[in-house]
Structures are given as structure tokens and as C-alpha cells.
Amino acid sequence: MTGQSMHRRELLRGLAFGGGLLLAVRFGATASADPGPLVASPEDAAFAPNAFVRIAGDGRVTVIINKAEMGQGVSTALAMIVAEDLDADWKQVGFEFAPADLVYAHPGFGIQMTGGSTSVAGMTPSLQKAGATARAMLVAAAAQKLGVPLLELTTESGSVVHAASKRRLGYGELVADAAKLAVPTDAPVKDRKDYRIVGRSTKRLDTPDKVRGKAQFGIDVTLPGMVIALVARAPVFGGKVRSFRAEKAKAIAGVRDVVQISSGVAVIADRFWAAKRARDLLEIDWDLGAGASTSSEKLRAEYAALAQKPGMVGRRDGDAPSVVEAAGSKAIEALYELPYLAHAPMETLNCTVRLTADACEIWTGTQFQTVDQGAAAAVAGLKSEQVKIHTTFLGGGFGRRANPKADFVVEAVEVAKLAHAPVKVIWTRDDDLRGGYYRPMWTSRMRATLDARGRVEAWVHTIVGQSFMAGTPFEAAFVKNGIDSLSIEGSEDTPYAIPNVQVELHTTNVVVPTLWWRSVGHSHTAFVIESFVDELAARAKADPLEFRREMLKDKPRHRAVLERAAKESGWGTPLPAGRARGIAQHFSFGSYVAIVMDASIERGRPRVHRATVAIDCGRVVNPDTVVAQMQSAVGFGLTTALYSAITLKDGRVDQSNFHDYPMLRIHEMPTVDVHILESNEPSSGVGEPGVPPIAPALGNALFALTKKPIRRLPIRSEDLA
């Protein structure tokens, strides 16, 4: 290894880990001892000064995206950040997805992953540095070539310019020389006032391929000699195969084999349809195990009973339980219930694996490369560095493709070990909806008292539900003193100024596998808190907006979004008869969002006319993406509020496809107005923070119409009568 390349490696590590707190989580995956050129350069003349950017001889800039593109626009946003500090010509910028390597680790979590709405905030320093470093080297190469002092050179839009002599060199003309230079460690990043890309609405780089059907998703991957597998999984969580008969299945033309794996029985065939028909003909004797007694109705009753008991304390200010108890029948109490939720990404899960004696290649849409890599290596009996992951586009993720257990990857590697050919495991929609890893079911009991002036004096939030992270490698990082911080997020940090606050948690143990789901714990706490605040406001005979403002006096950013959404929605002005507005706000993933929902009830069902959204997510990279994510959050949140529930009877999931796990459709989508607050704070999350306040804002509008609070999701017609 030459001194220069060693220097480069050190810089790469520095970029990836610099400035971040490394959590003590490791998954057996290690960075390759000698990663070689981290980014394969197809063009010999290409200049790749670091792991995130490559410039070709024709001036094309390729930004290496270490995050999953699942619709949130991250490939464009991250490319914009690099392009800004590189001073690139945006028309010359493209991207490709990074391989699995710890050089691409999340700066905060120490593994390569996409989640927590952290991509822009987390990657900004490294990417600015990557762009600035490349730019500095191009300028140095130009100085040598033109024989002028560095200080006389400037850059603009993909060229180095020597104004005095009116000479200009395109970046492409400089790559060969720049590649020979040492990589500087101190290249200055741009002053924000000089920005011309970041902060302006910019067309997404992935749109042209997506509208032509050319974007490659995991399910589109095809390899020579590839076979297709479908897996019959246990009908009950925790169930195991006792025995199976496959004669009928094997009689289907095109079926190659039927094999048992840890999750069930896999049918391996030449084509999807043969595998599907054969799977339907399998005769499997399942040992269902204890899970067969699980039922959501039973769980609801158990959760409601648990909620009556004191739980583990997640926050204690003052002595809220005593104040509430002393108030006796004057205390206000409500029980809120939320079901299990499936992520239901539009592209069902799938994973393609090519396994040889000393290598495992995986193609899949994943949010969790490092975890998948380590898990695949363990199953394949290989070292992590022998597992290569090709991240494709994700047809939606919402957290499902970031599984600490790497379920869909582990399963595909198990099949590959028995398939003797490259294999693509495809999940059908029923497999996807019944496959577990749901947002947990939650029950919350709220108790509060109001003082003589109608202000909240005491507030007790008792939460009942499964842990997100127990039993995963993340347990140590997230579960402290028996409390999974994700279970109570959004509640333990409620911003409202209340003298006595207590948040309690009962963590239940249920066989149903759970997982983070777009907005994680906030997906339940925001609904409960914001709905209950409206119930309290009603009791205090206060306007829901004023009631919140009063409790947010010391929270300027919360108040600003709330007031903005209210103002833009025309809060307080008359609406046509039969319509009402509901308001909610929530802080999550570093961002502040407030929503006003304008709704009515038509033929016994809610109808949403307009959603007014205000968001403060710090400095914005691509404003149009923020707008798009808020529009998406409204639709996604309304689907949840109106339709989504995974329920179980005798351990079996009731739902199987979009007819019984429905999605909002175009005729139900309201007008959405999005207002982004100007901010000079650091960038914060965008993909998730819009979701939490949607359901309570709708519930509050319906409460205003019917005077009956919405305490259960999804909203049922009987709650509106």
C-alpha cells in the first residue's frame, strides 16, 4: 500500500466516522481489511478522491449514495450536498448506490443503514467534506496545469476558472492530474451564502427512470440461471414445520425442488407462477406452538387491564398520580387503542442471492446493509467481507426493510444454500401482510386534572405494548432500565408546560414480531397526546389552538408551526356547514410539524377536504422534497387513521391483501398545502415527522363535529354516529 493510498483510507474512515457518536453496537460485520478501490471506477480516467464522489474524464460526476432510496428523495438530496461543495454542474451529476462497507456507516449508529429520518442531517458533514476535498484537488491540478497561483483560481459549475487570463478548465479535463495529488484533509467547505444548489427546489435524479419503468427494484433483478422461490411460512408466529408432503407440488411443471428451511417450506421453480401454484399444493403439518392462542381481542382486554396498574416510570415531574387520585371523579380519563400495523410497501419483500463456495452476492432493496451482511455471512458460513450487497431501489420501506433480524435476507440465503442456483425469493402480498414485524399494538390510559383556570395541572400517560427493540442487537442501545425509549418517545418528551407529568410503561411479551414503522413510537404517542389535549381543551371550554399555545409559551419552534398551520388554514373562520377543523402538532426526528385537517362526515365516513401542514425541519436541502414528503405523510397518515389494522384470531393474521388492509385512494386524498418555515437551525428529519400529527388532527376535526372523541384507530363508523 502506498503512502498516498493509506492516506486516502484514513481520510475515508475519518469522513465516515468523524463527528459522530458511535454506539456500542456491532453485528459481526467488519470493514474489509483492504477494501481496495472502494468504488469501482469503470472509466480509467476517473478521479475518486473519496468514497462518495467520482468524476469521469467527460466531466460526469457520480455521487455514491450510501442510503436506501425508498421514495424519500435521498439520492437527490445527498447528491445536491456533494455537488454544492464540489461546485459541480448539476446537469452533469448522477448517482449510484454504495456497496456494503463500513466506510458508508451511519455516522451516529456505526452501521450502514437508512432510518430515523437521519440521512441528510447525519451525512451532511461527510458529504460537504467529500465535495470540498474533490474540488480542492481539481483546483490544485488546474494551478499546476495553468502555472498560476492557487489563490487566483475559482470554480463555477463544473469548471476551474482563471479570471485574469480568461481561461477555464472543465473538471473532466483535470481528473487525470487531480488523481495523482495527495488528498488534503483541510479543504474548506462553502459558506452558505454562496450556495446555488442546496436550498433550491431541484428535480429528482431518479424520476426519469421511474416514469419509464427503467428503475431497477429488487424484484426486477434477473441473473443467468436464476430460479424463483416462494416460501410457505407458519400460519402462526413461532410455528414450526413438523412434516410436509410435496408430491403434488413437485408434479407442477417447472418445479425444481421443495426444501425445508427455518422459516418454513420453500418451493424452488423456474418461474414465479410454478412456484406459486406448487406452494398452494403443499401439505404441511405445522406445530403451531403457543402462538395459536394469540388473539387481538384478548390482547386488547389484557392491555386495558394492565393500563389500570402503575407501570415503570419513564418520566416524573412533580407527583401527577397523587394529584389525579386526589381529584377523584373530577379527574379526566380516557383509554386509547391502536392496532398492529403492517408496513405494506408497494413492492413486496424479495431478495436475490448468488452463493458460491467463497462468496455470497445479494441483490435487494434494503435499509440495513451492515446487519444483512453480517446475518447472511453467518448463515452462509462466510466472513462478512465475502458477502457483497447490491442495494437496488426500494419500492417503499417504511422501516420494514431495516430488520435487526434480517428476516428476508437470512431466508433467501438459506434457500440459496439448497437451490444450487442463483435464487430470487419473492413474497406475495399475503406473505408480506402476514409475515409479521408489525408496528406494535398499543393501549394508552390518559389521566389529567385541570386547575380552576382550566390549565392542565397533572398528566399521567400509561402506555402498554411490546418493545420495538428487545431481543435485537439494538436492545442495549435503546432499552434502558427496562424501558424501550422508542415505546415512549414523543410522550416522555412532551413539550407541554404541565407542573405534574408522569409517563409509565408496561412492556408486554407477545409472540407477534414487531418492528419500527414510519415514525416508530411517535406513531402512537402523538395520536394519544394530541387527541387527549383536545379532550382537555373541550373540558376547559378553550379553543384547541389557544389551549396549546398557552402550554407552549417557552417552545418557540413548536408554537411557530402551530400558529403557521392555524393561520394558513383559516383557523377560526367559518367553514361550510358540516365541516370542521382539527389541529395537532408533534415534534419528532428533530422536526416540528403542525397540521390542520378540514373534514366532514359523509355517508357515515370521514371525508377530508384539506390538510394544511407547517414544518420546521431546519435548513432545507431540497424544498420540493419536503413538500412531497408532507403530501406523502398526509396520505400515509390518513390510511392509518381510516383503515389500517392487523388483527389476529387463534394466532392467525386476519388480513391478506388490499381488500382487507386497504390503502387510501386518489378520490380520498385531500388538497394539501405545505408551508416550510425559514430556519437556520441544522437540518432535521423529513421522511417521518409528517406522519404522527395526521391521525389526531383528523380525529380532532371529527370530535369537533360529533362532540365524541376518537379514541381508537382505525376510526370506525360507530365512533362518528
The yes or no reply on residue 344 touching other proteins (CB under 8 A) is: yes
Q: Which does 632 bind (CB under 5 to 8 A by kind): ligand FES, other proteins, none?
A: other proteins
Burial class (CB in 10 A: 0-12, 13-18, 19+), 201: exposed
CA separation for the pair 383, 498 (Å, rounded): 53
Smallest gap, in angstroms, from Cβ of residue 610 to other proteins?
11
The answer to the question of residue 158 lying near other proteins (CB under 8 A) is no
- Compute the least distance from the CB of residue 486 to ligand FES, in Å: 25
Q: Of residues 66, 569, 612, 639, which one binds other proteins by CB under 8 A?
A: 639
CB nearer other proteins, residue 303 or residue 340: 340
- 540: nearest Cα among 424, 430, 656, 453: 453
**Complex with ligand FES: residue 72 or 92, whichever CB lies closer:** 72
Q: Is 71 in the site for ligand FES (CB under 6 A)?
A: yes
Task: Verify binding: residue 134, other proteins, rule CB under 8 A.
Answer: no
* Closer Cβ to ligand FES, 415 or 664, answer by number: 664
Q: Interface with other proteins by CB under 8 A: which range of 22-30, 129-137, 166-174, 667-675?
A: 667-675
- For position 395 contacting other proteins by CB under 8 A, the verdict is yes
Residue of 666, 678, 718, 721 that binds other proteins (CB under 8 A): 666
Report in angstroms how near the CB of residue 667 gets to other proteins at its nearest. 4
Cα distance between residue 540 and residue 532, in whole Å: 12
CB-wise, 349 or 446, nearer to other proteins?
Answer: 349
What residues from 188 to 227 belong to the interface with other proteins (CB under 8 A)? 203-204, 206-217, 219-220, 222
CB of residue 78 to ligand FES, shortest distance in Å? 19
| Shorter beta-carbon distance to other proteins: residue 650 or 660 | 660
Q: Which of 69, 181, 63, 66 is nearest to 130 (CA)?
A: 63
DSSP state of 670: P
Choosing from 92, 112, 159, 348, the residue that interacts with other proteins (CB under 8 A) is 348
At 655, give phi and psi (nearest 5°): -85, 150
Closest CB 217 distance from other proteins, rounded Å: 6
CA–CA separation, 547 vs 545, rounded Å?
5
Spell 562-585 as b/e; 16+ CB within 10 A means b: bbbbbebbebeeebeeebbbbbbb
CB 387 within 8 A of CB 377: yes
User: For 107-110, which contacts have Cβ atoms below 8 Å and span 24 or more sequence positions?
Assistant: 107/16, 107/17, 107/18, 107/19, 107/20, 108/20, 108/21, 108/22, 108/23, 109/23, 109/25, 110/17, 110/20, 110/22, 110/23, 110/25, 110/26
* Binder of residue 667, out of other proteins, ligand FES, none (CB less than 5 to 8 A by kind): other proteins
- Per-residue interface string for the shown chain with ligand FES, residues 386-405, x marking contact by CB under 6 A: ----------x---------
Q: Which residues contact 104 (CB under 8 A, 6 or more apart)?
A: 16, 51, 64, 66, 98, 112, 369
Is residue 76 within 8 A of residue 202, CB to CB? The reply is yes
**635 sits near ligand FES (criterion: CB under 6 A):** no
Instruction: For residue 628, give the C-alpha cell.
Output: 412531497
663 counts as binding other proteins under rule CB under 8 A? yes
Q: Is 67 in the site for other proteins (CB under 8 A)?
A: no
- Please name the residues in contact with 348: beta carbons below 8 A apart, sequence gap of 6 or more: 219, 426, 427, 428, 429, 431, 432
Stretch that binds other proteins, among 9-17, 313-321, 346-354, 602-610 (CB under 8 A): 346-354
700 is an interface residue for other proteins by CB under 8 A: no
Cβ(686)–Cβ(518) under 8 Å? no
Question: Is residue 71 a contact residue for other proteins (CB under 8 A)?
Answer: yes
Does 346 engage in binding with ligand FES (CB under 6 A)? Answer: yes
Contact predicate 197/203, CB 8 Å: no
Q: Under a CB-based contact definition with an 8 Å cutoff, are residues 174 and 142 in contact?
A: yes
Residues within the interface to other proteins (CB under 8 A): 69-73, 203-204, 206-217, 219-220, 222, 228, 253-254, 271-274, 277, 344-348, 393-398, 426, 428-429, 624, 628, 631-636, 638-639, 657-659, 663-667, 669, 671-672
Residues within the interface to ligand FES (CB under 6 A): 71, 346, 396
